[in-house]
C-alpha cells in the first residue's frame, strides 16, 4: 500500500518494470540507479553555480569546437566516475570525449553501452537558463565477445537503444525516460528535501499536432529554400490549420524538447551553410538526436532528419551531426514534406 504523502520513487518504478520483464537480471536497474545518483550530484552543483567559483569557461575547446564550461567538465567526470565501477558497462561515449571511454581494467565489464551529453545547453549556464543531461543506452552488438573496444560495436542505429531519456536542471530537476516497447515515457521530479525523484508525469503523450515551432531563426539566411519555406509555413496565417504557430526557442535542446513534449509542437535544427565543417547542422546523432527520438516515438511523436526517421540512420561516427525535426507527429510529417518533397 502506498503511504500517504510519499509518491512513487524512480527506483520503485524501475524495479516494477524489471519485475515485469522475466529476462531482467537487475543489471539495467543498477545502471539506471547509478546514473540517477550522478544526475543528483550534477543537479546540486548546477543549483550552486552562482554561489561557488564554478562559473565561466575554462578557455578550452572541446572536440565539437565549442567552449568547454567548467560545469561541463564536472558533469562529464561525475558520470564517468560513477558509472565505470558498476560492472554493467562495456564502454561509454560522451560529447566531451573524442573516442569511446573504456572501463578501467580493475573494474568488471558488462554488456551495456552508455552514450551521453553530460551538460547540454552549457552556453546557458551563466544566465540561469535550464540545461540538461541526455542519455541513450545500448547493448553490445550480438557476437561482440572479444575484449577489444571496437567503435563498430557501439555505432548502432537509434532503434537499438534499450532505454533513453534526459535530466533537465531547471525550475526543478526532472528526469524523463523510457525503456521503449510500449512501456511509455515517464517523468520524475526531484524532491530536494527527500532527495528522491518522484513520479510526476505518468505516461506522457505528445499532442498529435502542436502550436509551437522552435528554431534558431537567426540562421534563416544560412538555410536552403526548402527550410525557409517550411518555417514560413509555420508562421503563415491559416485558421483551418491553426497557424501561425507560436515561436519558442530557449537554445537548450533539453528545455526546448521538454516543453514541446508536454505542450505539442516541433523543434527544428536543420542543415545550414553557416559552418562548412557542420553541413548537417549542429546537433549530434548519437548523443542528442537518438535518445530524444526514442523518447518522442514512445510518447506518440516522431523524429526525422527531413528524409527518414532519425532512429533508422546507420551511424558512421560517434560524433556525426544530423538535421533534426522532432515533436508532434503531424508537424514533423509536415517538415518532411517540405524538406524531402515539394512542400504543401
121-129, 136-144, 157-165, 228-236 -> range binding ligand AFP (CB under 6 A): 121-129
Q: List, in sequence order, every residue forming a beta bridge with 134; answer none if it has no partner.
A: 117, 166
Q: Does residue 144 interact with ligand AFP by CB under 6 A? A: no
Considering the complex, what minimum distance in angstroms separates the CB of residue 256 from ligand AFP?
Answer: 6
Q: Does residue 121 interact with ligand AFP by CB under 6 A? A: yes
- As a whole number of angstroms, the distance between CA 43 and CA 172 comes to 9
Nearer to ligand AFP, 112 or 325 (CB): 325
b/e per residue, 117-137, with b = 16+ CB within 10 A?
bbbbbbebbeeeebbbbbbbb
31-39, 105-113, 122-130, 226-234 -> range binding ligand AFP (CB under 6 A): 122-130
Nearer to ligand AFP, 14 or 68 (CB): 68
7-15, 36-44, 120-128, 155-163 -> range binding ligand AFP (CB under 6 A): 120-128
Count the residues in the chain. 344
Which of 216, 247, 280, 320 binds ligand AFP (CB under 6 A)? It is: 216
Q: How many residues bind ligand AFP (CB under 6 A)?
A: 12
Which of 157, 184, 251, 300 binds ligand AFP (CB under 6 A)? It is: 251
* E strands, the chain, in order: 57-61, 67-69, 89-94, 101-102, 112-120, 131-139, 163-169, 173-178, 185-191, 196-201, 212-214, 246-247, 266-269, 302-304, 324-327
Which of 120, 272, 305, 336 binds ligand AFP (CB under 6 A)? It is: 120
Convert 54-122 into a string of H (helix), E (strand) and C (coil).
Answer: CCCEEEEECCCCCEEEHHHHHHHHHHHHHHCCCCCEEEEEECCCCCCEECCCCCCCCCEEEEEEEEECH
- As a whole number of angstroms, the distance between CA 284 and CA 292 comes to 11
Q: Does residue 122 interact with ligand AFP by CB under 6 A? A: yes
Q: Which of residues 6-65 bind ligand AFP (CB under 6 A)?
A: none
- As a whole number of angstroms, the distance between CA 31 and CA 155 comes to 20
Q: Does residue 70 interact with ligand AFP by CB under 6 A? A: no
Nearer to ligand AFP, 197 or 257 (CB): 257
Which of 66, 102, 111, 333 binds ligand AFP (CB under 6 A)? It is: 66
- As a whole number of angstroms, the distance between CA 288 and CA 166 comes to 10
Q: CA dist 90 to 73, 108, 114, 118, 317, Å?
A: 22, 9, 8, 18, 18
Q: Does residue 78 interact with ligand AFP by CB under 6 A? A: no
31-39, 40-48, 229-237, 247-255 -> range binding ligand AFP (CB under 6 A): 247-255
Considering the complex, what minimum distance in angstroms separates the CB of residue 231 from ligand AFP?
Answer: 14
Q: Does residue 282 interact with ligand AFP by CB under 6 A? A: yes
Q: Does residue 291 interact with ligand AFP by CB under 6 A? A: no
Instruction: Kindly tell me the sign of the dihedral angle through the C-alpha atoms of 95, 176, 297, 80.
Output: positive
Q: 208 in helix, strand or coil?
A: coil
- As a whole number of angstroms, the distance between CA 24 and CA 287 comes to 25
- Residue in the structure block whose three cell numbers are 516541433: 266
Considering the complex, what minimum distance in angstroms separates the CB of residue 165 from ligand AFP?
Answer: 16
31-39, 77-85, 250-258, 295-303 -> range binding ligand AFP (CB under 6 A): 250-258
Question: Where on the chain is the footprint of ligand AFP (CB under 6 A)?
Answer: 66, 120-124, 216, 251-253, 256, 282
Amino acid at each position: 500500500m502506498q503511504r500517504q504523502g510519499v509518491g512513487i520513487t524512480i527506483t520503485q518504478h524501475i524495479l516494477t518494470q524489471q519485475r515485469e520483464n522475466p529476462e531482467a537480471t537487475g543489471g539495467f536497474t543498477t545502471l539506471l540507479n547509478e546514473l540517477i545518483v550522478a544526475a543528483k550530484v550534477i543537479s546540486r552543483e548546477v543549483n550552486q553555480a552562482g554561489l561557488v567559483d564554478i562559473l565561466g569557461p575554462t578557455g578550452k575547446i572541446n572536440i565539437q569546437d565549442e567552449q568547454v564550461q567548467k560545469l561541463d567538465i564536472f558533469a562529464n567526470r561525475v558520470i564517468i566516475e560513477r558509472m565505470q565501477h558498476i560492472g554493467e558497462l562495456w564502454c561509454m561515449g560522451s560529447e566531451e570525449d573524442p573516442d569511446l571511454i573504456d572501463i578501467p581494467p580493475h573494474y568488471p565489464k558488462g554488456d551495456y553501452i552508455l552514450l551521453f551529453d553530460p551538460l547540454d545547453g552549457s552556453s546557458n549556464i551563466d544566465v540561469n537558463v535550464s540545461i540538461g543531461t541526455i542519455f541513450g543506452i545500448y547493448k553490445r552488438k550480438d557476437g561482440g565477445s572479444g575484449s577489444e573496444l571496437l567503435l563498430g560495436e557501439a555505432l548502432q542505429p537509434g532503434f537499438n537503444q534499450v532505454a533513453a531519456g534526459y535530466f533537465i536542471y531547471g525550475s526543478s530537476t526532472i528526469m524523463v525516460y523510457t525503456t521503449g516497447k510500449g512501456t511509455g515515457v515517464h517523468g520524475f521530479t526531484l524532491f530536494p528535501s527527500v532527495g528522491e525523484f518522484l513520479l510526476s508525469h505518468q505516461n506522457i503523450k505528445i499532442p498529435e499536432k502542436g502550436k509551437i515551432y522552435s528554431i534558431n531563426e537567426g540562421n534563416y539566411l544560412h538555410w536552403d529554400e526548402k527550410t525557409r519555406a517550411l518555417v514560413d509555413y509555420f508562421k503563415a496565417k491559416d485558421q483551418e490549420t491553426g497557424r501561425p504557430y507560436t515561436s519558442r526557442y530557449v537554445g537548450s535542446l533539453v528545455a526546448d524538447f521538454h516543453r514541446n513534449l508536454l505542450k505539442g509542437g516541433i523543434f527544428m535544427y536543420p542543415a545550414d551553410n553557416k559552418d562548412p565543417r557542420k553541413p548537417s547542422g549542429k546537433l549530434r546523432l548519437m548523443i542528442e538526436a537518438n535518445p530524444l527520438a526514442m523518447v518522442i516515438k514512445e510518447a506518440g511523436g516522431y523524429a526525422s532528419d527531413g528524409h527518414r526517421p532519425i532512429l533508422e540512420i546507420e551511424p558512421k561516427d560517434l560524433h556525426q551531426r544530423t538535421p533534426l525535426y522532432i515533436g508532434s507527429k503531424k508537424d514533423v510529417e509536415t517538415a518532411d514534406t517540405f524538406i524531402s518533397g515539394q512542400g504543401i
